Structure 1
């Protein structure tokens, strides 16, 4: 039975408004923090659990895929249970999943708990926006979202720093345990302040078949990407089976969703030119961005001798220009052609990745920091204009479904980008290693001279050969990471052409509800 329509609650004031904003921001901060805090801790997690760093990336991709799958359910869950109850439950379950992640004694259990964490995290960010906007007068909605955006931009900056410091000075489980007090405070304050402002509920049918197919094909594809290198790709029956399941599952999913009366995701939105181009461009760009964000600290820690803290310091400056420029971009997107703003982002990303493509084993800290600082400007120009293009021309009744679908595509692309980047890095490194050792033969005078100098310093023949192999590994993995950076730069330039295929949104186009999109 449908609940009677509830009147729109009056805006909050004074202390209640300040506490409500704080609680919602804390929950958002905690959620976004968990997308980046584990990046610099992967080598420590992998070493402690006795797995390779490549397998350790599952800690990131499992969260991303589960989070992406749960995002389209937010609308149905909100109407079924109410925004306040759902948000509070989501935060409390996130706290529980975080605690379980810290306790996990094996990679398998850690991945299982990260999946749980990703699933329950889905409604948190969209509902934090919903509750925040209901707390402020309509005239102050822009200011409220600007403050919310700062939270989502600060968290990725703090994440690597905090994750690195915790890993080096305490232990990696504490990158998850710190969510417990933060989440409990956010949940208690939210429930106390908002429980009398609950949204109306009603029973709606849910597309269980569509949801099952979504989980099936996305999950199969992600496992295939994560385990492909380990199982030698299509020489493995398991990888072939996963590919077939993913392909057939995707085909059936398309047919089902296009014919279902209440689809889990409204694929008909892709018939709209701006939505299709905006969502795909945003997804590809985010996949490239996130894959490289994961790759950089792996290279720094495994081959450049950086500690987790130092690697976090190398990633943190991305937030400086992002925080300073995002409000400016937010104010400009309604007046300027967002295609020009997005083009600025793509060109800046290409410049950043070209700078990184020139890294050598002798790269100093400033040459590593400078591209990260510039990348902050690219991030500021990236999310808001593309969301404006994606949502342009849609009526208010379709905005939630469109925002949910574009977020699903983007977050999934981030997980896929991580798997593809790390797999390509290993493959290119193996190729470079093979080319480099071709010259290390008894007939090569340079190799023999280097070997002679090492043995003259007191190393045994075996120790000298192992030292040379480590030097070759350093060169091979550095050249490989440069290859990934260069390819990513070229792909960002290709996105410039794609975004200009979209139509310019009208000045009255809906403002993006993604708040900067750092999530």
Structure 2
């Protein structure tokens, strides 16, 4: 059922209607921009947030997982809510609840409290990209749609760049809670704008509403929760050595398979999967998943490299990443003007994946004393990946869909995005922890009394502590503590480089797949 109607003012249009139609696409763009700002800020400042609640950064993987699971559940119920509230009230309510979730985040003092607050935000903001993009596609007449979509995409790029830039100032000046205060006030303001300017659409009479059964929704929730628990536990237990994880994985996959089978056959499903019959769409989903995995992992590793590996202050790291990301705005304008002249979009997204491989390889080769000038180029190029991969694929993946099938297919794509983000974060954290232990073991093996290089390093350091007034034994202990700190720092740095190497290999594989496939040209 198509519950969207294009906005077409009549001849008696008033000035009020005129300014509303002007602000309508801006309100939609700001709504999804807030989603990208929130996610980018949480990922970039995860170390500061973890320190604020007294937990190591890897403990916040529960918050990311809770957000992802709740997002998928929210996406599944998106149409259900729209039919009862309408698009305007649904988006406005989601923004208000997002503000409430941000307030809960500022009041969190433990990983569990933060995970619960992020789950609320995930449920209401996870569907936001799909809700807004579907409204742009089906709620605008074709003559106005192109301009609205451009505002939409530029806002995504702008807010993604502002998250580290503005967040760096906020965290340095006021602490990590300031990030969530910022999203809280922004959510309230954008909600008011949406309720004022977005036209009423989408709501249907009670007797025409679809009534999908509840049990598949519960099954999907349990399946996703089971698989997320498995991802968490891989930090501590190898999969092959834990029958419990194997059984939980099997149970999750069976429940997920049952959900997909039910949705495929049911006349009124939560999610229509018929779009998967299109080979072009299936290929597009694979390319999307690869892009979202690589892009999210790259952003996380860049943040960790700058703040932990290279010891950049949080404000400086935010400035560097934010300012280099702003270059994508100019590139987007060029893309909008000239991309239509390129008939074969494959020659954009294949080089896009190779660009990701080049960025990752560049960062993987950085020495520990690298200067900022050597970071500018890869960080600037990172902002172009959306233009090289996601937009060309989007232009082709949905071309064959009817008005009724487009919303469901876009929701599928949004689910793929959330799952890829969660899997990416979990994978990189697991790899980072394993490589950290490996490098610490290798480096610690060289810390022995018989190592002449260690004795040469410890002698002046011990003498420094003796001159500061410590006894010889205390000075020796302090000197060894400095060595252990140095080993941990070096192991962290080398672990980040290993993560970039993994992304470089994955990006090359993605480029080869993109070159090999024949469905999207």
- Shared fold (TM-score, shorter chain, > 0.5): yes
Map of 1:345-424 to 2, 5 A cutoff?
345-424=352-431
CA distance in 1, matches of 2:483, 2:276: 53
Query: Residue 472 in 1 paired to residue 472 in 2?
Result: no
- Taking structure 2 as the reference length, the TM-score comes to 0.89
Residue of structure 1 in register with 2:311 after alignment: 305
Residue of structure 2 in register with 1:103 after alignment: 107
Match 2:301 to one of 295, 301, 304 = 295
CA distance in 2, matches of 1:266, 1:19: 32
CA distance in 1, matches of 2:29, 2:83: 23
CA distance in 1, matches of 2:258, 2:105: 34
CA distance in 1, matches of 2:23, 2:277: 42
Cα shift at 1:37:
1.0
Number of aligned positions between the proteins = 504
Greater CA deviation, 105-114 or 393-402? Answer: 393-402
Query: Residue 40 in 1 paired to residue 55 in 2?
Result: no
CA distance in 2, matches of 1:402, 1:266: 7
CA distance in 2, matches of 1:190, 1:131: 13
- TM-superposition CA deviations, 1:258-305 (whole Å, max 9, x none): 333333333443343222221012112211220221122223323422
Map of 1:210-359 to 2, 5 A cutoff?
210-230=216-236, 239-240=245-246, 242-330=248-336, 332=339, 335-359=342-366
CA distance in 2, matches of 1:451, 1:123: 56
Judge conservation of contact 2:272–2:405 (CA < 8 Å) in 1. Answer: no
Residue of structure 2 in register with 1:178 after alignment: 182
- TM-superposition CA deviations, 1:483-513 (whole Å, max 9, x none): 111121111111122223443558xxxxxxx
Aligned-partner SS, 1:10: coil
Judge conservation of contact 1:360–1:478 (CA < 8 Å) in 2. Answer: no
Judge conservation of contact 2:33–2:159 (CA < 8 Å) in 1. Answer: yes
Change (3 A) 1:213 1:334: farther
Judge conservation of contact 1:287–1:416 (CA < 8 Å) in 2. Answer: yes
Cα shift at 1:99:
1.5
CA distance in 2, matches of 1:502, 1:321: 31
Cα shift at 1:473:
1.8
CA distance in 2, matches of 1:8, 1:325: 30
Aligned-partner SS, 1:457: helix
CA distance in 2, matches of 1:444, 1:189: 67
- TM-superposition CA deviations, 1:442-465 (whole Å, max 9, x none): 222112211223212226111111
Aligned-partner SS, 1:500: helix
Change (3 A) 1:377 1:399: same
Judge conservation of contact 2:279–2:519 (CA < 8 Å) in 1. Answer: no
Cα shift at 1:210:
2.5
Greater CA deviation, 71-80 or 225-234? Answer: 225-234
User: What root-mean-square deviation, in Å, do the aligned CA atoms of Structure 1 and Structure 2 show?
Assistant: 2.7
Judge conservation of contact 1:6–1:200 (CA < 8 Å) in 2. Answer: no
Aligned-partner SS, 1:51: coil
CA distance in 1, matches of 2:232, 2:305: 18
Greater CA deviation, 16-25 or 397-406? Answer: 16-25
Residue of structure 1 in register with 2:469 after alignment: none
Aligned-partner SS, 2:270: coil
Judge conservation of contact 1:333–1:385 (CA < 8 Å) in 2. Answer: no
Judge conservation of contact 1:33–1:159 (CA < 8 Å) in 2. Answer: yes
Cα shift at 1:128:
3.0
Query: Residue 69 in 1 paired to residue 73 in 2?
Result: yes
Judge conservation of contact 2:5–2:139 (CA < 8 Å) in 1. Answer: no
Change (3 A) 1:160 1:6: closer
Cα shift at 1:431:
0.7
Query: Residue 497 in 1 paired to residue 503 in 2?
Result: no
Unaligned ranges ≥5, structure 2:
467-474
Judge conservation of contact 2:4–2:135 (CA < 8 Å) in 1. Answer: no
Change (3 A) 1:197 1:68: closer
CA distance in 2, matches of 1:160, 1:45: 14
- TM-superposition CA deviations, 1:195-230 (whole Å, max 9, x none): 555654531022423322222222222232124324
Aligned-partner SS, 2:360: helix
